[in-house]
Structure 1
Amino acid sequence: MLKEKAKSFATKAHQGQTRKNSDEAYITHPIRVAQRLEQEGGSDSLVCAAYLHDVVEDTPVTIDDIHHEFGKEIAQLVAAHTEDKSKTWKERKQHTIYCIQHAPKEVKYLIIADKLDNLIELEKEYKLLGETIWANFNAGYEQQKWYNQSIVKYMYSGLDKSEIPSYFYDYEQVVSRVFSSVQP
């Protein structure tokens, strides 16, 4: 089964990596993103891309490797979500904001599922660690606020109401909570 292969591939690629503000194994994040997309009825390709969405950014795996192992469609979904680490934080985030405005719906689904999981975890970590969490990011509170609020502003672009998954609304609510009540 392709989804199990993607999960296994990502688990191996992320082996030894942990989440930014905890000692939790990194793979728990892609697994949660994939589970959310599967629960929302996402295609097998989208679920596979969710498992694999960070391997190109965070491991030696390349888009060509993904293409070879999983085919063109999954590689394209992963590539659309992969940031170019040679660019500045602001340039990378501007690209994601542009992408969220203009990308096909499956790319949007992947990006928002990823951002939602990251922000839910950030909210939990803030409750435990307080303001020190911002020191672990390339950009502080104000920049993170701008970025997440920009994603919310544009994530519905080009989607019919029937195409909007419930977790888009969840993301909007978490952004509102984190960046109105959590202030350094």
Structure 2
Amino acid sequence: MKEQLKLAEEIAREVHECQKRPIGKDDYINHPMRVAERFEDDSLKIVAWLHDVLEDSDLEFKDLVERGIDYYLCQVIDYLTREKDQNYIDYILGIKENEDAIKVKIADLMDNLSDLKNGNMRDKYILALHILRN
């Protein structure tokens, strides 16, 4: 599992290398790193490192499997990947189908909320937290 964790961090760094966060303008890689740091379990850390890579790159589910990420963990990452035209609430409701996806999404939302001021995005994330926790 330690090799997969190292691989997950490498993939995340490749994908997010030049990206900046729209909120706060820090390096994007700091976001999945902070989300991963919230977990003790290596499987959840792997998912946390990779939770945005399918949305933010040309990588696909099969690419992660081929590179050596466990198939089940790729499924969890897939739950966390929002399709381009997918309604946000439908996306959140889909995450509720997998306990590990719920845990990582809550950690993701908590990190996003940590540097957001009041406004529509904050309200959307708070609603998502409410849905995932109930």
Same structural fold, with TM-score higher than 0.5 when normalized by the shorter chain: yes
Structure of greater Rg: 1
In 1, are the aligned partners of 2:76 and 2:101 still within 8 Å (CA)? yes
DSSP-derived class of the 1:155 partner: helix
1:67-92 CA distance string (max 9 Å, x none): 2221211110110000001x15xx1x
Tell me the residue number matched to 1:4: 6
- Unpaired segments of 5 or more residues in structure 1? 132-140, 158-184
Cα distance change, pair 150–23 in 1 and its aligned pair in 2 (3 A):
closer
- Unpaired segments of 5 or more residues in structure 2? none
1:133-169 CA distance string (max 9 Å, x none): xxxxxxxx34651x23432332233xxxxxxxxxxxx
Cα distance change, pair 21–75 in 1 and its aligned pair in 2 (3 A):
same
Cα distance change, pair 148–13 in 1 and its aligned pair in 2 (3 A):
closer
Q: 1:63 aligns with which of 61, 64, 72?
A: 61
Shift of 1:21: 3.1
Counterpart Cα distance in 2 of 1:143 and 1:55: 21
Shift of 1:2: 1.5
Counterpart Cα distance in 2 of 1:11 and 1:152: 27
Amino acid at match of 1:96: Y
Q: Going by fraction, where is helix more abundant, 1 or 2? A: 1
Cα distance change, pair 110–82 in 1 and its aligned pair in 2 (3 A):
same
Tell me the residue number matched to 2:75: 76
The answer on 1:153 being equivalent to 2:130 is yes
TM-score (norm 1): 0.64
Write out the 4+ residue segments of structure 1 that deviate beyond 6 Å after TM superposition.
none
C-alpha RMSD over aligned residues: 1.9
Tell me the residue number matched to 2:26: 24
TM-score (norm 2): 0.86
In 2, are the aligned partners of 1:57 and 1:83 still within 8 Å (CA)? yes
Question: Could you say which structure has the greater relative contact order, defined with CA pairs below 8 angstroms and 6 or more residues apart?
Answer: 2
Cα distance change, pair 149–118 in 1 and its aligned pair in 2 (3 A):
closer
Report how many aligned residue pairs link the two structures.
131
Please show how residues 35-54 of structure 1 align to structure 2 within 5 Å.
35-38=37-40, 42=41, 44-54=42-52
Tell me the residue number matched to 2:17: 15
